[in-house]
Amino acid sequence: MKNIDSRTHVRGESIYLDDIPEVRGTLFGAAFGSPVAHGIIRHLDLTAAEAMPGVVRILTYKDVTGENQIGGIVPDEPLLAEHHVHYCGMPIAFILAETDDAARAAIKKITVNIDPLPVITDPRDAQALGHLIVRPRTFRLGDTATAWEQCAYIFDGVADTKGQEHLYIETQGAYAIPQENDGIKLYSSTQGPTAVQRAVARSSGLPMHQIDVDVTRLGGGFGGKEDQANMWAALCALAAHVLKKPVKYALNRMEDMAMTGKRHPYSSDFKIGLDENLKIIAYEATFYQNAGAAADLSPAVMERTLFHCTNTYFVPNVTATAYCCRTNLPPNTAFRGFGGPQGMFVIEAAIAKAAEALGVDAAVIQAENLNKTGDEFPYGQKAESEAHACWDKAVTLYEIDTIRSKTASFNTVNLVYKKGIALMPVCFGISFTNTRMNQARALVHVYTDGSVGVSTGAVEMGQGVNTKMVQVAAQVLSIQTERIKLLSTSTYRIANTSPSAASATADLNGRAVQIACTDIVNRLRAVAADELQVDIDGISLKDEWVYVGDQQTDWDWKRLVMAAFAKRVSLSEHAHYATPEIHYDAAKEKGHPFAYHVYGTAIVEVTVDCLRGTYELDAVKVVHDFGASMNPLIDRGQIEGGIVQGVGWMTMEEVVFDKAGRLRSNALSTYKVPDIYSVPKEIAIDFLQTQQDNLAIFRSKAVGEPPLMYGIGAYFALRNAILAFNPAAIIPFDAPMTPEKVLLALYDRSVKGDTVPNEQTA
Ligand code: LUZ
Ligand code: MOS
C-alpha cells in the first residue's frame, strides 16, 4: 500500500501548521532570546519595541498566569527567563504583533543588560565542576576489574561525537485559538500532543481538559519535536489566554537553529581488552554527555547510551558510566537513536583502535563478538539475536571478499584516490526505556454508511505511521483501505498519549487499533450469527463479505453495519494497549526494558580524494531485520533516510559553538547536510524476513531509528581510506569526519621519524 499522504504531498495540498487558514484577528508571536550564554539580567528595556508599529503586547515572565516552568523530567526550564539566563537564545520576552514582520522588527529594538557569568560549553569541564543534571549511572556485567588479567591485548582512548541539527523541513511552531470559557484549541507541530497539553496546562494554569492539541502531520520531527515543541506552544497558548486573541508563531529557520537543542555531543573514554582469539573480554566506558542548559530529555537519552554501549556485541565484563553534564548550550534533546548512536560509536572506535594496533581487519573482531540468542546485555535482558543472520547474509549476498579485493587493487593502482570499507552491525532496543510510556490508545468509529474513522495517539511526521494504521484497521475489519480515514491526532479524542518516538509508534498504536477493530468485528460477527441463525464461531469476515464456514453469504459489510445499528449495537470502540513483559529496575540497573531488538548489518564503501580531502560514498549495502514488513515501500524509505541522516552526522554535519556559547553554524550556508550529490551512489537493502513471535505489530518490526546507525560505518570507512594513503596517520576518534579533518589526517606527520609514503608521488 502506498503512503496515504502521497497524493496531497505531490499536489502541494497537505496541510502543515503554517498552512492552516488564519482566523481573523490573529496575532503573530516572536521570541526575544538571550544574546549571551550565561548571566544575570540587570535591566530589560522594552519601551522602544513596544512603540513599534503593529506591536500589541510584549510578555515577560511576569505575565505567566500559571507556573513559569516547562521542564519535563526535571523542573529546571522556565518558559520565560526571570533573572538568570543559561544559554544563547533562551527566551526572555514574547512579542505579539499584527504581522510576522512587525513582531520580528520589534525584537531588534529590545535591549537587555546582562552581567556575564562564566560560560561552559565542554561537558568534561562541567563534570569536573560537579554540574550534573542527574546522578551518574553505571551499568555493570561481570567484573571488569578482574577481567583485565585475562586479556592478551588492552587498548584505551577517547572518542567524541558532535551534535546534529534536526533540520526537519517544517520548523517548530504553534497556533493557539481561544475558545469559550477559557478553552484553547492548539495546533502544534509536535511529536507529543500530550507533552504540549501538559506544558500549556502548567504554564497557563488551566486544567488539561481545557486544552485541545490537534496535530494533522509534521514536516519531520526526528526527535526535535518530542519535547521541544512545548516552548512555542506554551508561549502561543499563554498569549492567547492573556489577550483572548488567536496567536501564531512559526519559527524561521535561523531562529529554529539558534534557539532549539540538537543531538547531544558526547566525549567518552574507553578501555577494551581482548584475548588471543580476539574475543572481547572486558570493556569500560565513561560517557560525558553535553546536556546543555536544562534537563529536557537528557537523562533518558543518557540512559539509552548505556543500553547501547556494547552495540550488538556480547561482552562478558562491562562497566559503563555516564554523566549528564549541564553546560551553557541550548538544551539538547531527542534525536533519532536517542543517545544509542553515541554509545555505539565509542565501542566501534575501541574495536577500530584494537584492529589498527593489531593489524587485523576490524570486521574480524566485530564478527568474532556478535551476540547470540541467550547472551546477556549489560542491563540483564537476554538477546534473541539476529546479529549473525544479518552479518552472514550481508557478507555473502554482497560478496565482501570481492569488495575487499577490488578495494585493495584500486588502492594499489591509484595514488591520489583511495577507497575504504567498513562493516557496521547494529542492534537497537525497541520500547521507551521508561516502561510506563509504553502504552497507547485508539478510537475507532464505524459510520452507518460503512466508512470508518480511526484516531490514535500516533503523530504522522512523514514516517508513514498513519498508512500503517490504515493497514491494521483494514486487515482486522476485512474491508478496503479506501473505507478508512485516519483522523488528526487530538488530545480530545485520545488522552494521555506518549510522544511518537522510540521507533515504537506503529507497534503501540497499531496494537490499540487492532484491539479496537477486533472488538468491533466480534460484535458484528454476533449480529451476523443472529441474523443468519448460525453459531458465531462459524462466522468470519473476508474482503467485505460475511462467511459462514467457507461459504460466502449475501451479507456484505454495509448491510452488516446497518443491521448492527438497527439492533442498537455499538459501532465504536476505544481500546488500550500496554506492552506486556517489559520492566526495569533503575536501582539495580537490570531488567527487561525492550519488547525486542532490531538487528542489521551495513557494508559502507567510500572513495577519498587524497589531494583535496573530499570524498564520495560509493555504496551502503544493508541486510536489515524487518521481521515481516507490513509495508516494504515505507520501510525501505525509512532505511534510506536513516542511512543518509546517519552519514550526515558522521561525515559532514558540524555543529559549531564558539567559546562564548554562540552557534556559528546557524544557517544552511555554514551547516552542511547531505544533498543529492553527497548521498551514497548506491543503497542496497535486503529484507531479512524473520518470523519471531515478538511484540511488533503483525510481526513487522520497528524501523524508525535503527538504520541511522548504519551511518557510523561511513566514519570508519573514511578512516580506512585515509590509512590506505597514510598508514602512519594518527587520527583522533572525533566525528564528524569532515573534509578538513580528512585532509589533516592524510598529511598527518605526528609520528616522529615516519614519512608519509605517498606524499612525494601525490
Ligand atoms: N524517547 C523517550 C525516546 O522518551 N524514551 C526513549 O526511550 C526513546 N527512545 C528513542 C527515541 N525517543
Ligand atoms: Mo525520537 S529520538 O524517537 O523522538
CATH of the domain at 170: 3.90.1170.50
The answer to whether residue 634 sits within a structural domain is yes
For residue 621, pLDDT over 50 is answered with yes
Give the pLDDT confidence score for residue 757 in this predicted structure.
52
Looking at the fold, whether 422 and 444 belong to one and the same domain comes out as no
Q: How would residue 521 be classed by pLDDT, with cut points 50, 70 and 90?
A: very high
Looking at the fold, whether 605 and 571 belong to one and the same domain comes out as no
The answer to whether residue 474 sits within a structural domain is yes
252-267 mean pLDDT: 98
Q: Which of the listed residues 259, 285, 314 is the one where a domain comes to its end?
A: 259
| Ligand 1 interacting residues, C-beta cut-off 6 A | 223, 226, 297, 300, 304, 334, 338, 432-434, 501-502
* Helix axes 230-243 and 193-204, enclosed angle (nearest 10): 40
Atom of ligand 2 nearest to the CA of 336: 2
Looking at the fold, whether 179 and 225 belong to one and the same domain comes out as yes
Q: How far is it, in rounded angstroms, from Cα 633 to Cα 655? A: 32
Give the pLDDT confidence score for residue 689 in this predicted structure.
86
Looking at the fold, whether 255 and 304 belong to one and the same domain comes out as no
For residue 77, pLDDT over 80 is answered with yes
Q: Which of the listed residues 233, 259, 285 is the one where a domain comes to its end?
A: 259
For residue 751, pLDDT over 90 is answered with no
For residue 564, pLDDT over 50 is answered with yes
553-562 mean pLDDT: 98
Residues pairing with 250 in the sheet: 173
For residue 552, pLDDT over 60 is answered with yes
Shortest CA distance to 357 belongs to which of 731, 613, 748, 721? 731
Q: How many Å lie between the centroid of ligand 1 and the Cα of residue 340?
A: 10
Atom of ligand 1 nearest to the CA of 304: 7
Looking at the fold, whether 215 and 86 belong to one and the same domain comes out as yes
- For the CA of 505, the nearest ligand: 2
For residue 236, pLDDT over 70 is answered with yes
Shortest CA distance to 449 belongs to which of 525, 561, 546? 561
The answer to whether residue 265 sits within a structural domain is no
581-592 mean pLDDT: 97
Cβ(498) – ligand 2 distance below 6 Å: no
Atom of ligand 2 nearest to the CA of 225: 4
Give the pLDDT confidence score for residue 249 in this predicted structure.
98
Atom of ligand 2 nearest to the CA of 338: 2
Looking at ligand 2, which residue's alpha carbon is closest to its atom 4?
Answer: 223
Q: How would residue 760 be classed by pLDDT, with cut points 50, 70 and 90?
A: very low
Looking at the fold, whether 526 and 654 belong to one and the same domain comes out as no
For residue 23, pLDDT over 60 is answered with yes
Looking at the fold, whether 301 and 206 belong to one and the same domain comes out as no
Each residue of 149-178: pLDDT tens digit?
999 999 999 999 999 999 999 999 999 999
Each residue of 167-213: pLDDT tens digit?
999 999 999 999 999 999 999 999 999 999 999 999 999 999 999 99
For residue 512, pLDDT over 80 is answered with yes
Give the pLDDT confidence score for residue 387 in this predicted structure.
98
Each residue of 387-426: pLDDT tens digit?
999 999 999 999 999 999 999 999 999 999 999 999 999 9
For residue 635, pLDDT over 90 is answered with yes
Q: Among residues 77, 149, 705, 759, which one is catalytic?
A: 705
For residue 272, pLDDT over 60 is answered with yes
Q: Which of the listed residues 527, 553, 578 is the one where a domain comes to its end?
A: 578
Q: How many Å lie between the centroid of ligand 2 and the Cα of residue 324?
A: 18
The answer to whether residue 57 sits within a structural domain is yes
Domains contained in the chain, number:
4
89-111 mean pLDDT: 98
The answer to whether residue 75 sits within a structural domain is yes
- For the CA of 299, the nearest ligand: 1
Burial label, 638 (beta-carbon count in 10 A; 0-12, 13-18, 19+) = buried
Q: Write the ipTM.
A: 0.95
The answer to whether residue 267 sits within a structural domain is no
Residues pairing with 318 in the sheet: 141, 283
Q: How many Å lie between the centroid of ligand 1 and the Cα of residue 501?
A: 6
443-463 mean pLDDT: 98
476-498 mean pLDDT: 98
Burial letters for 128-163: b for 16+ Cβ neighbours within 10 Å, e otherwise?
A: eeebbbbeebebbbbebeebeeebeeebebebbbbb
Give the domain extent around 453.
Answer: 439-578
Residue type, 7: R
Looking at the fold, whether 536 and 609 belong to one and the same domain comes out as no
Q: How would residue 628 be classed by pLDDT, with cut points 50, 70 and 90?
A: very high
Ligand 2 pocket test: pick from 165, 167, 172, 222 the residue with the most ligand atoms within 8 Å of its Cβ. 222
Each residue of 326-358: pLDDT tens digit?
999 999 999 999 999 999 999 999 999 999 999
* Mean of per-residue pLDDT scores for the chain: 97
Q: How many Å lie between the centroid of ligand 1 and the Cα of residue 631?
A: 23
Looking at the fold, whether 175 and 37 belong to one and the same domain comes out as yes
Q: How far is it, in rounded angstroms, from Cα 576 to Cα 234? A: 28
Looking at ligand 1, which residue's alpha carbon is closest to its atom 3?
Answer: 502
Looking at the fold, whether 667 and 734 belong to one and the same domain comes out as yes
Looking at the fold, whether 466 and 511 belong to one and the same domain comes out as yes
CATH of the domain at 300: 3.30.365.10
Ligand 1 pocket test: pick from 198, 297, 303 the residue with the most ligand atoms within 8 Å of its Cβ. 297
Residues pairing with 44 in the sheet: 112
Looking at the fold, whether 304 and 183 belong to one and the same domain comes out as no
Q: How would residue 759 be classed by pLDDT, with cut points 50, 70 and 90?
A: very low
Q: How many Å lie between the centroid of ligand 2 and the Cα of residue 83?
A: 32
**% of the chain residues with pLDDT over 90:** 97
Nine cell digits for residue 130? 560537579
Each residue of 680-708: pLDDT tens digit?
999 999 999 887 888 999 999 999 999 99
Nine cell digits for residue 273? 581488552
Q: How many Å lie between the centroid of ligand 2 and the Cα of residue 190?
A: 12
Distance, C-alpha 461 to centroid of its chain: 11
Q: How far is it, in rounded angstroms, from Cα 225 to Cα 222? A: 7
215-227 mean pLDDT: 98
Shortest CA distance to 294 belongs to which of 465, 587, 588, 89? 89
The answer to whether residue 374 sits within a structural domain is no
The answer to whether residue 694 sits within a structural domain is yes
For residue 305, pLDDT over 80 is answered with yes
For residue 537, pLDDT over 50 is answered with yes
Each residue of 652-676: pLDDT tens digit?
999 999 999 999 999 999 999 999 9
- Phi/psi at 422 (nearest 5 deg)? -150, 150
Q: Does the annotation count 356 as an active-site position?
A: no
